[in-house]
Amino acid sequence: MDIAERAPGSVAPSRARILLVDDDDLLRDTFSVTLASFGYAADSAASGEEALRMLRERAYDLVLSDVVMPGLSGLELADAVSRRHPDVPVVLLTGHSHADLAKSALRYGAADFLAKPVNIGNLPMVIERNLERRRMEFERLARRGEEVLLAAVEALVVAIDAKQAYTAQHSRRVATLALWAGESLALSPGERRVLELSAFLHDIGKIGTPDAILNKSAPLDPPEWEQIKQHPAKGCEILSHIPDLSAVAGIVRHHHERMDGAGYPDRLSGLAIPLFSRIISIVDAFEAMTSTRTYRPSRSVTEAAAELQAYAGTQFDPDLVASFLGRIERGDRLPIALSDP
């Protein structure tokens, strides 16, 4: 597994993957060649709609988009990306006459803008400036992690405690397991903090789920299940309003996506799902299976491991499942106490 490619915030500038969005074929081709000449991996989309589809299928480090396009405009694209992929910066390209429009777009999710005609020599500076902001956000979380945890996070967990008795303990256990699973990935302190906070807060969106559904001992009916499926998006919305937690928000949003694209809320597939979301998906399922619930007894580690293996490649990242189960098979001690099966 290439951690430099797959861990958020760790992509070297020369390997950053840029999504270029412009309805002008000539400009799109010219910019693609230019970006490649600077060492970036560049993909292109001819419309905002195509860009959103590509973002569902592959992970990108930055989006570079024209403002005025048929169909979904650059402003609407920036707004959609900021909500669905809040850790991906959007840089808008606009003509001089649209400079004021581009500035106002910063309030709707765009990270930066460049005026047309673009000075090609300025492209790397603008791209690196925005990638560096993302990297600094991870490191800032490492420096301020305890402050964030004690302020916003603790208040949110108290709210979860009031909703569902087991959820807070489940979240703490998932956070502990996520860090254990991530030990083989050579993560930086900032990345470890983001993984821990994301796992700890992955179910925060259940604040908006009715108590009767959360604590129901019988199987959920379809309308109730649809309400449960809203919690990742609700969690992302809550966290996106907290300073320093925008990177966490995107990971929380996607922790119920599946490798085969059949998950929710955005039906991302494969490596388009953030790495930390894929880790949390595995340890969340493992912790749930090995814990007692009101509606079922706990499973053994062997049974839970078999379930993860059965769904590796469809629901779960097969490489991460192999890494997680490999530690268990080697006899590495799990960092949490398990319920008696």
Look at residue 2 in the predicted model and tell me its pLDDT.
34
Look at residue 7 in the predicted model and tell me its pLDDT.
41
- Can you give the pTM of this predicted structure? 0.67
Look at residue 8 in the predicted model and tell me its pLDDT.
42
Alpha helices by DSSP H, 149-245: 154-163, 167-181, 189-200, 211-214, 222-228, 231-239
CA-CA distance, 270 to 315, in Å (whole number)? 10
Look at residue 145 in the predicted model and tell me its pLDDT.
58
CA-CA distance, 256 to 237, in Å (whole number)? 15
Q: What is the pLDDT of residues 159-188, one digit of tens each?
A: 675 666 566 578 889 999 999 999 989 898
Q: What is the pLDDT of residues 194-213, one digit of tens each?
A: 999 999 999 999 888 888 88
CA-CA distance, 273 to 255, in Å (whole number)? 8
Q: Which CATH class is domain 17-138?
A: alpha beta
Show the tokens assigned to 176.
């502990």
CA-CA distance, 66 to 92, in Å (whole number)? 6
Q: Which residue has the higher pLDDT, 26 or 295?
A: 26
Domain ranges of the chain: 17-138, 164-330
As a whole number, mean pLDDT of residues 66-77 equals 92
Look at residue 339 in the predicted model and tell me its pLDDT.
59
Distance of CA 155 to the CA centre of its chain: 22
Which of these is catalytic: 116, 163, 206, 234? 206
Q: Are 287 and 173 in contact (CB under 8 A)?
A: yes
Q: Is 234 a catalytic residue?
A: no
Answer CATH for 164-330 from 3.30.70.1110, 3.40.50.12780, 1.10.3210.10, 3.40.50.720: 1.10.3210.10
